[in-house]
Chains A and B, each alone.
Chain A
Amino acid sequence: MRLSALLGCTVRDRDGVRVGVVHDVRLVADGPAYGSGRPSYRLAALVCGPVAAFQRLGYGREDLTGPALLDWLFTLLARHSRLVEWDLVGGVTGSVLHLRVTRGELPLLRGRTTRAARRAARAERRR
């Protein structure tokens, strides 16, 4: 399987609701070891959402912030982007990935942009 076969695929949840398009793939180095003994990169999650530009610029990363205006803009564009664990993919039909969960159960790409996280940050600042 090629990575390009995944990029651009439409993702639909358990109820058939469109989650978005696969813009990126997250790898984690904890797979079976290569011949050299190093851990292989395992396909851990898919980054799905309506807009890809911010992702390619690096604004999907939690550790990348600012300039403030760009951060605000890309956060706004990324507000519907979700992280889909590979284990949640139930099946593939052509270029459509079907999930085993509903859209609401998927975590947002940038957790700190969720309303709850912003509320927690505001409460923290007040203290």
Chain B
Amino acid sequence: MRETPRGGQQPPDRPAWDEPVLDVAQLLLDRQIIDVDGLPVAKVDDLELACPPGGGPPVVTAILYGPAALGPRIGGRLGAWWVAVGRRFRPVSDVAAPSIPFDAVAELSTTRLRLSVPVEDMAADKFSDWLREKVVFRLPWGRR
């Protein structure tokens, strides 16, 4: 097994999925995502689907999270408001919903959704950095 920066263990092989058949709203949406070290990353707000190049039904390509992903799911005025609020808290150059390639999922079962990469590699960390730099550091004693 490969050692991760925080001492976690990354599985060397990729076995078959624990859930060969799953109902998304039941087992995937709103599920807490944890990284390879067990740290929380985000919650699953939406999924990105794409048709494979060879044709056939759409397949899941990425997990989307954040207000820009949850807003359309809520729908209506509340959903639009949620997206607008989320947009104001994000950098101008980064307006799309952050995504995690589904290939980065190491474990998916009824009880957990664990990634094979550390949280530092996720787009969520860019938001944290931006929030720290633009908001927290500007507060009195924010740099302590």
Contact = CB atoms under 8 A, between A and B. Distances in A.
Residue among A1, A2, A8, A47 with max Cβ neighbours from chain B (10 Å): A2
Interface residues of A, number: 36
Given A4-B72, A39-B17, A58 B47 contact: no
B49 A1 contact: yes
B16 interface: yes
Interface residues of B, number: 32
B78 interface: no
Q: Helix, strand, loop or mixed for chain B's interface?
A: mixed
Contact of A28 (B21, B54, B72, B75): B21
A37 B73 contact: no
B23 to A, nearest CB: 5
Interface in B4-55: 14, 16-17, 19-26, 29, 46-50, 52, 54
Contact of A32 (B52, B72, B73): B52
Nearest to A24: B25
A1 B47 CA distance: 9
A8 B56 CA distance: 23
B119 interface: no
Interface of A: 1-5, 7-8, 23-32, 34-44, 47, 55-56, 58, 60-61, 86-87
